[in-house]
Amino acid sequence: MDGDGRMDAVWAPPVRAAMPRGLCTDCGISRSDNPKRCGHACQFIKPDYPLLETLVHGRARDPARIDEQFFGPFRRMVRASLTAPRAGAQWTGIATRIGERLLQTGAVDAVLTMAPDPDDKWRPVPVLVTEAAGMAQCRGMRMGYAPLLALLEPARARGFKRLAVIGIPCQVYALRALERELGFERLYVIGTPCSDNTTTENFHQFLALLADDPDTITYLEFRADYHVELRFADGRVKEIPFLQLPISKLPPDFFPMTCRTCVDYTNVLADITVGYMAGQGEQWLLVRNARGEELLALLGDEVRVSELGSAGKRKGPVSGFLKNVERAAGGLPLRGMPNWLRPLMGWLMPRIGPRGLEFARARVEMKAVETVLHLRRAYPKRLRNMVPAHVWALVKPYGILPRDGETP
């Protein structure tokens, strides 16, 4: 990279300082020419999902299609893997491979996404990738926030007219809210689900609790089989059952309020969502519209797809989670369980707990529960504008109903 952050395949132009905001994940709009646009672009102020779903997908989520209440509008959902998984990818690398194919076929001038900070591999840095070869260094998950959308103006200034963006839901909401003002000829949006993000600094604290040599951890994932997988630089792999994670040693504010209360786990405004929650060990794709089909078609026979499965029942685990969140009163929801029982439950959960689509539904409901309970406690006035109707519908079966003044 040269002085202004310009490199052949990957360009990281400098960005302005952020404007101070309350609930904010620094998606980059406050650093743009017109930071006032946060007012109508922000997921944390007054989101309008039915409107944006209609603008992006041609329709809002359909009440008759039950899974759309959890995951937003989609044409089809599949289990998927690249037949040749890519080194350094978080799963098999579908998200970055789509970016590579868009660049290889000339469908876009650039892909806007995150690369690792050269001084801290866990810190995301927004970049514009202009050649397929540059996508390899963006593979994998970083923890933290970085102002992805601050690079929209540099992209336009450099004459890019067709753009792909790979982003997390709070970034994609602002992107879609502003899409019509941005003036790109073509925009492809590849979304990943996102939950329980935190600052990169906090994440380093967590890593330090998981291993004696945290700097050698190269990979971390919260898998759908109730284990955290860690990989180390020397090739070691460690799997820790969720129940045995050192959560009680984390500070109560480890997860920022934004990430405890955001309302879109599965990136409903993306053209295609690339996640893993319903994939039972593989990836999970939600193809949401015609452009999403176009993106998946770019992979041809490099991708193997199959039907999703579903097993177990979510009601008990979600009700238990709700009790734990209530009991924690703003701290981290620890399971009230004696230590001797934890290994046994850790063994049982992947076998009898919700799996496949039922696991994904459970996680979306848990997140909806957290949204309402945390906002009630910390920002009661925000519920009215911030919580969409579909979130209220998700928590209703658990006895959580809107109180006076909590809905528009």
Ligand X SMILES: Cc1cc2nc3c(=O)[nH]c(=O)nc-3n(C[C@H](O)[C@H](O)[C@H](O)COP(=O)(O)OP(=O)(O)OC[C@H]3O[C@@H](n4cnc5c(N)ncnc54)[C@H](O)[C@@H]3O)c2cc1C
Query: Of 96 and 197, which CB lies nearer to ligand SF4 in the complex structure?
Result: 197
Among 168, 318, 349, 395, binds ligand X (CB under 6 A): 168
Span interacting with ligand SF4, options 1-9, 18-26, 236-244, 272-280, rule CB under 6 A? 18-26
Q: Which of residues 332-391 bind ligand X (CB under 6 A)?
A: none
Query: Of 28 and 275, which CB lies nearer to ligand X in the complex structure?
Result: 275
Task: Establish if 41 lies at the interface with ligand SF4 (CB under 6 A).
Answer: yes
Query: Of 241 and 383, which CB lies nearer to ligand X in the complex structure?
Result: 241
Task: Establish if 32 lies at the interface with ligand SF4 (CB under 6 A).
Answer: no
Q: Which of residues 105-164 bind ligand X (CB under 6 A)?
A: 113-114, 124, 138-144
Query: Of 177 and 270, which CB lies nearer to ligand X in the complex structure?
Result: 270
- The answer to whether the beta carbons of residues 193 and 265 sit under 8 Å apart is yes
Of these partners, ligand SF4, ligand X, none, which one is at the site of residue 32 (CB under 5 to 8 Å by kind)? none
* Whole-number Å distance between alpha carbons of 273 and 183: 23
Q: Which of residues 353-382 bind ligand SF4 (CB under 6 A)?
A: none
Query: Of 265 and 350, which CB lies nearer to ligand SF4 in the complex structure?
Result: 265
Among 12, 15, 27, 111, binds ligand SF4 (CB under 6 A): 27
Q: Which residues of 363-385 are buried (b: 16+ CB within 10 A; e: fewer)?
A: bbbbbbbbbbbbbbeeeeebbee
Span interacting with ligand SF4, options 39-47, 60-68, 97-105, 180-188, rule CB under 6 A? 39-47
Among 38, 164, 175, 270, binds ligand SF4 (CB under 6 A): 38
Among 111, 168, 268, 287, binds ligand SF4 (CB under 6 A): 168
Count of residues engaged in binding ligand X, rule: CB under 6 A: 31
Q: Show the binding pattern over residues 77-106: x = contacts ligand X (CB under 6 A), - = does not.
A: ------------xxxxxxxx----------
SS3 letters across the chain: CCCCCCCCCEECCCCCCCCCCCCCCCCCHHHCCCHHHHHHHCCCCCCCHHHHHHHHHCCCCCCCCHHHHHHCCCCEEEEEEECCCCCCCCCCCHHHHHHHHHHHCCCCCEEEEEEEECCEEEEEEEEEECCHHHHHHHCCCCCCCCCHHHHHHHHHHCCCCEEEEEECHHHHHHHHHHHHHHCCCEEEEEECCCCCCCCHHHHHHHHHHHCCCHHHEEEEEECCCCEEEEEECCCCEEEEEHHHCCHHHCCCCCCCHHHHHCCCCCCCCCCEEEECCCCCCCEEEEECCHHHHHHHHCCHHHEEEECCCEECCCHHHHHHHHHHHHHHCCCCCCCCCCHHHHHHHHHHHHHHCCEEHHHHHHHHHHHHHHHHHHHHHHCHHHHHHHCCHHHHHHHHHHCCCCCCCCCC
Give the pair of three-digit tokens for residue 388: 């969409």
Q: Show the binding pattern over residues 240-279: x = contacts ligand SF4 (CB under 6 A), - = does not.
A: ------------------xx--x-----------------
Task: Establish if 275 lies at the interface with ligand X (CB under 6 A).
Answer: yes
Among 11, 12, 44, 86, binds ligand SF4 (CB under 6 A): 44
Task: Establish if 25 lies at the interface with ligand X (CB under 6 A).
Answer: no
Nearest-approach distance from CB 19 to ligand SF4, in angstroms = 7
* Whole-number Å distance between alpha carbons of 262 and 259: 6
Task: Establish if 194 lies at the interface with ligand SF4 (CB under 6 A).
Answer: yes
* Interacting residues toward ligand SF4 by CB under 6 A: 21, 24-27, 29-30, 38, 41-42, 44, 168-170, 174, 194-195, 197, 258-259, 262
* Interacting residues toward ligand X by CB under 6 A: 89-96, 113-114, 124, 138-144, 166-168, 192-195, 197, 274-277, 283
